[in-house]
Amino acid sequence: METLLAFVIGGLYAAGFYMMVRRSIVKMIFGLALLGNAANLLIFTMGRLVRGRPPLVPLGAGEPVPPFADPLTQALILTAIVIGFGVQAFALVLIKRVYDEVGTDDLDEMNTTDTERGRSRKSRIPR
């Protein structure tokens, strides 16, 4: 099972990076989401996979009987998922705003502040 997950994680990373090197910002955000999921699955797998053994202390015993599923990795992933959700939601709104402002989803067009040509176009500096 761990081997299978290793391949899944590798595939997710590959797909994520492939999406990120595309020029469209929409694909880039999808790539970011895939990377986040790959990292979460990686943490999950690093906690070793145990089926059907919740980390519960049996009645009367002092500690759970091994092997049991590691609760800490699950807590970590839960936190990471929540953070990832928030950040991705922000990123989605951001690309919508970028599209409204710039009028294209091509990353190569987003260099007005970097080039002489772009700067000479009237770009407003906020104070």
Binding site for another protein (CB under 8 A): 20, 25, 28, 32, 35-36, 38-40, 42-43, 45-48, 72-73, 76, 79-80, 83, 86-87, 90-91, 94-95, 97-98, 101-102, 107, 110-114, 119, 123-127
CB atoms within 10 A of CB 59: 5
Min. distance of Cβ 77 from another protein in angstroms? Answer: 9
**Cα 27 from Cα 21, distance rounded (Å):** 9
Min. distance of Cβ 114 from another protein in angstroms? Answer: 7
Q: Which two tokens stand for residue 62?
A: 């002092």
Min. distance of Cβ 44 from another protein in angstroms? Answer: 8
Nearer to another protein, 65 or 72 (CB): 72
Min. distance of Cβ 65 from another protein in angstroms? Answer: 18
Contact 40, 123 (CB under 8 A): no
Burial class (CB in 10 A: 0-12, 13-18, 19+), 5: middle
